[in-house]
Amino acid sequence: QVQLVQSGAEVKKPGASVKVSCKASGYTFTSYGISWVRQAPGQGLEWMGWISAYNGNTNYAQKLQGRVTMTTDTSTSTAYMELRSLRSDDTAVYYCAGETGSSDAFDIWGQGTMVTVSS
């Protein structure tokens, strides 16, 4: 079945970096893009950016420009999101999401990866 499976929870110190993976299966990975969305504890959803799995083009949220990098490995159908210079307010569940349907809405989601930033 169509699914996105993410890597496990991470605990990082302020100033460190984290790299979260998102492995796709059940569809042609290079036909669609992957977005990353995060959710701080008890808060709403924040779109972080998007990468085309076809050609690697990216579009990042302005507030994260310079700290985030999204990449893909088409040989393993895996997308990656790296966030640098972590701060305590980066503590959140990070989701990958794909738009494999007839619109650009996010019809598939990973299970989420909890990233905790704490000294």
Partner 1 sequence: DIVMTQSPDSLAVSLGERATINCKSSQSVLYSSNNKNYLAWYQQKPGQPPKLLIYWASTRESGVPDRFSGSGSGTDFTLTISSLQAEDVAVYYCQQYYSTPSFGPGTKVDIK
Residues of this chain that interact with partner 1 (CB under 8 A) are 35, 37, 44-47, 50, 59, 61-62, 95, 97, 101-107, 109-112
Distance of CA 103 to the CA centre of its chain: 19
Minimal CA–CA distance to 62: which of 52, 47, 72? 47
Residue among 73 and 104 whose Cβ is closer to partner 1 = 104
Q: 64: which 2 tokens? A: 């994260």
Residue 52's DSSP bridge partners are: 33
Please, which residue, 14 or 104, has the CB nearer to partner 1?
104
Shortest Cβ 118–partner 1 spacing (Å): 21
CB 63 within 8 A of CB 72: no
Looking at the Cβ atoms of 14 and 110, the one nearer to partner 1 is 110
Closest distance between partner 1 and the C-beta of residue 38, in Å? 11
